[in-house]
Structure 1
Amino acid sequence: MVHIPVSAEILTQARTIKLLALDVDGVLTDGRLHYQDDGRESKSFNILDGQGIRLLIQSGVSIAIITGRESSMVSRRAQELGIAHVHQKCKDKWTVLTTLADELGLELKQIAYCGDDLPDLYTICHVGLGLSVPNAPEYIRSRARYVTQQAGGQGAVREICELIIQAQGGWDAIMAHYQHEQH
């Protein structure tokens, strides 16, 4: 079993999650932007987060990226991980998320959202499981139902994925799969 210290209330809510929506900068990355002399931008993604996303998708939970910026690197990473729902240049994340929920036939209580800044605040407060990261400002963290132990870009998304899988009873099957020779 995954050892993530969470309340029974959070585990109960995580049990119902069908969609995990994520911000990018500060959640899937550490929030830093790297600019090259030639004007190119680069981002760093955590490999542990990627594996967590793959495991969550395999367990039947959909993943969405909803970000205010636009980057070909985000599109590439989402494609590598099998993330079907990618929304970039979003000024109104709530509207994008509610439209996606309607398309997928989901109720808001079946959605978890993780963000780290003011454009994420309304969404964090109005989904079934609002999440944030320890590198977010206090006024964001204080309104989230759960704040990860790991920082954004440092395994926070992996922690969230494992929490949901644990709550939904899928962790033992994952461990059994990886403890045996893979074919």
Structure 2
Amino acid sequence: MTPNFERTHPISIEDLENRASSIRMLLLDVDGILTDGLLYLSNSGDEYKTFNTLDGQGIRIAISKQLQIGIITGRKSKIVSSRAAELGIKIVKQGCLDKESALADISHETGIPYAEIAYAGDDVPDLPVLKKVGLSITVPNGHASAKAVSHTITSESGGAGAVREMIDFILSKRE
């Protein structure tokens, strides 16, 4: 990953690497980050999402290396609960209309300060969190407003390995 030059105030590669080296927790939005952002609905109203196995393996690796992983999402879905449980993600905040409050709760509950938290989001509801954390990340298919405030943009799109890219980068700077 490289510094985001679309950002209102770009940062240097050294600053990006320093930020990544102190990260103890990666929090993720779901739609557009862990998924491609598309919602698949059946005629009976069932909802479907697709998740990338590279991201899943990356999450397992992160947890094994003591990089905590959590989810903050505006929607509520059994699919998200199931996928989080399957991957061993213990921090799951769904139905969050105020993601900044969810961030504050997670920071308080875990004792991890904002400076040691990375957050990946792709749209307007993510902006307050992207502006507060030590490392803010978005994806190429994210909204322009998220790109304007994020420290970096992944090469891979949401739902296509972006989370694995984030994890690999953070872990490489923590070693």
How would you bin the TM-score normalised by the shorter chain?
A: over 0.9
1:91 corresponds to 2:91: no
* Contact kept? 2:48, 2:79, Cα under 8 Å: yes
Q: Which structure has the larger Rg?
A: 1
1:153 corresponds to 2:159: yes
Q: Which one-letter code corresponds to 2:64 in the other structure?
A: Q
Q: Which ranges of structure 2 fall in alignment gaps of 5 or more residues? A: 4-12
Q: Identity across aligned pairs (percent)? A: 44
Moved over 4 A (4+): none
Partner of 1:23: 29
Distance 1:69 1:166 in 2: 32
Distance 1:39 1:103 in 2: 35
1:134 corresponds to 2:140: yes
Q: Which ranges of structure 1 fall in alignment gaps of 5 or more residues? A: 170-183
- In the TM superposition, residue 65 of structure 1 has moved relative to its aligned partner by 0.4
Q: Which one-letter code corresponds to 1:63 in the other structure?
A: I
1:39 corresponds to 2:66: no
1:164 corresponds to 2:140: no
* Contact kept? 2:2, 2:153, Cα under 8 Å: no
1:57 is paired with a residue of what secondary structure? helix
- In the TM superposition, residue 10 of structure 1 has moved relative to its aligned partner by 1.0
Partner of 1:175: none
Taking only aligned residues, the RMSD between alpha carbons, in angstroms, comes to 1.0
1:131 is paired with a residue of what secondary structure? strand
Q: Which one-letter code corresponds to 2:144 in the other structure?
A: E
Partner of 2:10: none
Per the normalisation by structure 1, the TM-score is: 0.88
Name which of structure 1's ranges 19-28 and 99-108 shifts more when overlaid on structure 2: 99-108
Partner of 2:130: 124
Aligned residue pairs: how many? 166
- In the TM superposition, residue 139 of structure 1 has moved relative to its aligned partner by 2.0
Distance 2:111 2:118 in 1: 15
Per the normalisation by structure 2, the TM-score is: 0.92
Partner of 2:109: 103
Distance 2:149 2:103 in 1: 18
Correspondent of 1:143 among 133, 136, 149:
149
